[in-house]
């Protein structure tokens, strides 16, 4: 469904060229949950930023259902839900409902659809009690639920998250996990980066392992476990990154 072909991206950093993405080719299947892992600086955020058309590759092509994402940016973006980091991007002075209404208006949603969608999300995430309170007094977990709802307000088919649980406590992380299961049931395609191996083990169908801008493993998690005769992703990650001896 989402296909990257020989995608590269360089940045100039203090007159030095950094290869953030180094000829990456990938295929993400519709309805799959994909975990994106790699050390700091491996290129995860850069990859996700390209996938949501925030930056263009220097070389290569990114297509969704065979169409270049930059050539159909507007319609592609309306099918995307994006959440970067634990930053919620919410307006503290507005209530949760007003925040969601605002984001719905950015997608030109009708009042009727907006109301129905907010009702549904509030029910699903248990937000009804505080839907009409200002966000400024919310706990991190409450804010996260609103932020996730914001990401989903327009019912996107592809959802991208960059380290969605970094800095969150166990309860809030569990909210995220529960939410991934629900999205998966709805058949959405989900890609998220994380440093938490147990998150990948629990939630993902597929794995993309990156190292220094290159993909060192792409495929089903179960296939990796079977080939390596181990289900310890932490160990498998370390053996690939540190010793480079993973069978792929």
Ligand X SMILES: Nc1ncnc2c1ncn2[C@@H]1O[C@H](COP(=O)(O)OP(=O)(O)OP(=O)(O)O)[C@@H](O)[C@H]1O
| Nearest distance from C-beta of residue 162 to Mg ion, angstroms | 6
3-class DSSP state of 203: helix
Q: Please say which residue, 24 or 146, places its beta carbon nearer to ligand X.
A: 24
Pick the closest to residue 143 from 192, 217, 151 (CA basis): 151
* Binding-site member from 5, 8, 45, 63 for ligand X (CB under 6 A): 45
Q: Fill in the DSSP letter of residue 55.
A: S
Q: Least distance (Å) from ligand X to the CB of residue 168?
A: 16
Site string for ligand X, 3-22 (x = CB under 6 A): --------x-x----x-x--
Q: Which does 35 bind (CB under 5 to 8 A by kind): Mg ion, ligand X, none?
A: none
Binding at 42: pick from Mg ion, ligand X, none (beta carbon under 5-8 Å per type) = ligand X
Say whether residue 167 binds ligand X (CB under 6 A).
no
- Selected range binding ligand X among 41-49, 116-124, 169-177, 239-247, rule: CB under 6 A: 41-49
Element (H, E) at 6: strand 2-13
Which of helix, strand or coil describes residue 171? helix
DSSP 77-146: HHTEEEEETT-----TTSBHHHHHHHHHHHTT--HHHHHHHHHHHHHHTT-GGGTTSBGGG--HHHHHHH
Q: DSSP character for 239?
A: I
Query: Among 42, 158, 207, 233, which residue sits at the site for ligand X (rule: CB under 6 A)?
Result: 42
Please give the residue ranges that form the binding site for ligand X (CB under 6 A).
Answer: 11, 13, 18, 20, 38, 40-46
């Amino acid at each position: 469904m989402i296909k990257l072909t020989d995608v590269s991206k360089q940045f100039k950093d203090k007159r030095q060229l950094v290869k953030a993405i180094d000829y990456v080719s990938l295929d993400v299947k519709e309805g799959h949950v994909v975990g994106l892992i790699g050390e700091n600086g491996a290129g995860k955020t850069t990859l996700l930023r390209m996938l949501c058309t925030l930056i263009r590759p220097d070389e290569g092509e990114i297509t969704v259902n065979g169409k270049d994402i930059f050539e159909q940016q507007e319609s592609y973006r309306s099918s995307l839900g994006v959440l970067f980091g634990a930053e919620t991007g919410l307006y503290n002075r507005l209530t949760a409902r007003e925040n969601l209404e605002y984001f719905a208006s950015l997608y030109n949603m009708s009042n009727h659809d907006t109301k129905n969608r907010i009702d549904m999300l509030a029910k699903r995430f248990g937000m009804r009690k505080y839907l009409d309170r200002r966000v400024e007094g919310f706990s991190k977990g409450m804010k996260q639920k609103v932020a996730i709802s914001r990401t989903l307000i327009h019912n996107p088919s592809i959802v991208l998250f960059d380290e969605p649980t970094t800095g969150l406590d166990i309860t809030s992380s569990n909210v995220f996990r529960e939410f991934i299961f629900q999205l998966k049931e709805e058949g959405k395609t989900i890609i998220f980066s994380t440093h938490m191996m147990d998150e990948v083990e629990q939630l993902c169908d597929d794995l993309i392992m990156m190292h220094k801008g290159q993909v060192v493993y792409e495929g089903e998690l179960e296939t990796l476990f079977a080939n390596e005769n181990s289900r310890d992703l932490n160990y498998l990650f370390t053996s690939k990154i540190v010793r480079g001896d993973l069978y792929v």
